[in-house]
């Protein structure tokens, strides 16, 4: 049975700043993801805080939100069979030092905070995150 899903992907400021957005988009496309929607935006700090509210009690929360709002990002809705897990696998581990060969974070990530991409971690969160950026 086919299980087509949509997930939210963000190319984070460290990658956009290095002009890696087209290269990263090509990786998604070459792995069979359709980019249904995309936009390049810069968040206000309060918007980043809202997006990452799930992490509000973590010690890295404030730095994380400042960072996400520090420059332009590219936000995309990706679609594919089992897209949520597939995107997480293609991204690699949160810490680029632990990410497997062939993953986006292994290839482009600078550090655990500047790890180049975000991806929804569940189908439920994917829906919430897609609505956050693309609710008409």
Residues near ligand UDP (CB under 6 A): 55, 60, 64, 94, 112-113, 115, 118, 121
Given the complex with Mg ion, which of 24 and 91 has the nearer CB atom?
A: 91
* Angle in degrees, 0-180, between the axes of helices 83-91 and 123-134, rounded to the nearest 10: 90
Selecting among 21, 108, 118, 119, the annotated active-site residue is 118
- In angstroms, what is the minimal distance from the CB of 60 to ligand UDP? 4
CB of 109 to ligand UDP, least distance (A): 9
Q: Pick left, alpha or beta for residue 46 (phi over 0 → left; psi -120 to 50 → alpha; otherwise beta).
A: alpha
Residue 1 Cβ, how far from Mg ion at the closest point, in Å? 27
* E-strand stretches of the chain: 4-11, 34-41, 73-81, 117-119
Return the structure tokens found at 27. Answer: 């990786």
| 121 is a contact residue toward Mg ion (CB under 5 A) | yes
**Residues with a known catalytic role:** 118
């Amino acid at each position: 049975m086919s299980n087509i899903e949509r997930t939210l992907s963000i190319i984070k400021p460290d990658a956009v700043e290095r002009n890696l957005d087209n290269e990263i988009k090509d990786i998604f496309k070459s792995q069979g993801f359709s980019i249904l929607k995309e936009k390049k935006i810069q968040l206000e700090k309060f918007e980043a805080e809202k997006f990452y509210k799930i992490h509000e009690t973590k010690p890295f929360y404030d730095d994380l939100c400042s960072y996400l709002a520090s420059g332009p990002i590219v936000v995309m809705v990706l679609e594919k069979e089992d897209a949520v897990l597939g995107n997480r696998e293609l991204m690699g581990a949160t810490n680029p030092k632990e990410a497997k060969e062939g993953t986006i974070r292994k290839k482009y990530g600078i550090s655990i905070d500047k790890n180049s991409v975000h991806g929804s971690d569940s189908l439920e969160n994917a829906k919430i995150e897609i609505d956050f950026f693309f609710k008409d």
